[in-house]
Amino acid sequence: MATPVNKEDAFSQFLLRMGDNTLILGHRVSEWCGHAPVLEEDIALANTALDLIGQTQMWLGLAAEVQGEGKSADDLAFLRDAWDFRNVLLCEVPNGDFGRTLMRQFLFDAWHSIQLGRLMKSSDERVAAIAEKASKEVAYHLERSADTVVGLGDGTEESHRRMQEALDYLWPYVGEMFQSDEADAEMVKAGIAPDPASLREEYDVLVSRILGDATLIIPDSSFAHKGGRTGAMHTEHLGHLLTQMQWLQRAYPGAKW
Amino acid sequence: MSQAIAQPNIDQIWEWLDAVPDPEIPVISLVDLGIIRDVAWEGETLVVTVTPTYSGCPATSVIAMDIETALRDHGITDLRLKTQISPAWTTDWLSEKGRTKLEEYGIAPPQPAGGPEKCPHCGSTRVTKVSQFGSTPCKAHWRCQDCLEPFDYFKCI
Ligand SMILES: [Zn+2]
């Protein structure tokens, strides 16, 4: 994989990372539509997915504009293959049970809310505007996922056990959100985005507090799966997700709503 | 050659837009909702600036179509819709008229405190939150402990 060196490539990389995170997680969350344990949760998950997909439209729309090849956000979403995606692996892991879905949401929302807060001060006003819009929605996502993680973690014996299992399974996917490469360095230099590593301290404080309230124990390991945000290696799950998500545009190229 | 007809004035156009209902909550208008940020003539072209409520709100494209249809019905054919995401839409932009109409319709208007002031059906202040998310992205789901009716609360963002 070529390392982006100039600012345009790095900017495009950054925008794909933002947009692919929200696209892939939004799709995963939408898989719950009609299947959640209770109606209120079904509605909440569908609304969360909708927000994330709406944010994708803005990030990938800007990515397409920056790339300047005449593509649209839809082209980027539906016509790229797995190796072109730049989402972190956390977003593509399967839903598992309801508890794991909400744990994944919380671990992502906590990062997302801090990242968007920083991006609101971006030197690129388009990035700052998207971040301003998205951060209002993400504040609600975080409030709900944190409440649910506490409710289930500090709940019954079974819900506690499932949430601890979810945390043990997902924790190795957290580290990737804070890894940096040359593209990130380029973004820091241009004042467009923060160094991912610089978000870690604030993240750990927030996550430790909520998981503590949830009576859950953070695994004592710093091992991190990686390869999603660089595109070097996704999990096998992404390809399966894309066959679902991209099916219509692949089978009927150019089909319109 | 375009015909030399007088351009309708801006106040008139705001009035027309105030007659276009929100597709999801038809008792309030698009102007009440606060999503129409500007109306201006740029030469022969009328430019209407619209700010989306939630980024994934499925009503957004319907709203654009409704604006176009309404203005075309009033004879405006040279029209451009401009989407503006910053400053981000806030419920502070709901009009007073809109807030009153929401409550009459059974939807509790947004409050800075983050929850409804009272039940829109019986006026009781004994209300509890069921879920931060309701029937549309802009609403949360609450219940009254006195009349026991569920109701929508227009979320403050
Ligand atoms: Zn009541």
Q: Residues A25-40: pLDDT tens digits?
A: 999 999 999 999 888 8
Give the CATH number of domain B2-91; options: 3.30.300.130, 3.10.20.440, 1.10.260.30, 3.90.870.20: 3.30.300.130
Residues 6+ away with beta carbon under 8 Å from B3 = none
* ipTM of the prediction: 0.81
Residues 6+ away with beta carbon under 8 Å from B45 = B78, B79, B80
What does the pLDDT read at residue B56?
82
What does the pLDDT read at residue B54?
86
- A116: closest CA among B55, B91, B141? B55
Taking the CA of residue B143 and the nearest CA in chain A, the distance in Å comes to: 13
User: Is residue A257 in a domain?
Assistant: no
Taking the CA of residue B67 and the nearest CA in chain A, the distance in Å comes to: 20
Taking the CA of residue A239 and the nearest CA in chain B, the distance in Å comes to: 25
Query: Nearest chain A Cα to B130, which residue?
Result: A40
CA of A189 to the centre of ligand 1 (A): 56
Say yes or no for a CB contact (<8 Å) between B133 and A125.
no
* pLDDT of B4 above 60: no
Say yes or no for a CB contact (<8 Å) between B132 and A140.
yes
pLDDT band at B33 (very low <50, low <70, confident <90, very high): very high
pLDDT in tens, B55-96: 887 788 899 999 999 999 999 999 999 999 999 999 999 999
d(CA A102, CA A144) in angstroms, rounded, equals: 9
For an interface test with B, the pick among A50, A119, A144 (most B C-beta atoms closer than 10 Å) comes out as A50
CA of A39 to the centre of ligand 1 (A): 22
* pLDDT of B5 above 80: no
User: Is residue A256 in a domain?
Assistant: no
Is any Cβ of chain B less than 8 angstroms from the Cβ of A74?
Answer: no
Specify burial of residue A143 (Cβ count, 10 A radius: 0-12, 13-18, 19+): middle
User: Is residue A120 in a domain?
Assistant: yes
End-to-end distance of chain B based on CA atoms, in angstroms? 47
Give residue A40's Cα distance to chain centre.
23
pTM of the model: 0.91
What does the pLDDT read at residue A221?
87
Sign of dihedral through CA atoms A240, A245, A248, A253? negative
Which chain B residues are Cβ-neighbours of A143 within 8 angstroms?
A: 132
Query: Nearest chain B Cα to A133, which residue?
Result: B88
pLDDT band at A3 (very low <50, low <70, confident <90, very high): low
Asked which of A89-103, B12-26, B54-68 is least confident by mean pLDDT, the reply is B54-68
pLDDT band at A103 (very low <50, low <70, confident <90, very high): very high
Taking the CA of residue A52 and the nearest CA in chain B, the distance in Å comes to: 7
Is any Cβ of chain B less than 8 angstroms from the Cβ of A48?
Answer: yes
Say yes or no for a CB contact (<8 Å) between B56 and A129.
no
Mean pLDDT of A67-94: 96
What does the pLDDT read at residue B6?
76
Mean pLDDT of A30-54: 93
Is any Cβ of chain B less than 8 angstroms from the Cβ of A120?
Answer: no
User: Is residue A168 in a domain?
Assistant: yes
User: Is residue A197 in a domain?
Assistant: yes
Residue A107's domain spans which residues?
A: 7-251
User: Where are chain B's structural domains?
Assistant: 2-91, 106-154
User: Is residue A2 in a domain?
Assistant: no
Say what the alpha-carbon torsion angle A40, A46, A47, A51 is, to the nearest 10 degrees.
160
pLDDT band at A2 (very low <50, low <70, confident <90, very high): low
pLDDT in tens, B84-127: 999 999 999 999 999 999 999 999 999 988 899 999 999 999 99
Which chain B residues are Cβ-neighbours of A50 within 8 angstroms?
A: 54, 56-58, 137
d(CA B43, CA B61) in angstroms, rounded, equals: 26
Q: How many domains does chain A divide into?
A: 1
Name the residue facing A133 among B58, B88, B155 (closest C-beta).
B88
* pLDDT of B1 above 50: no
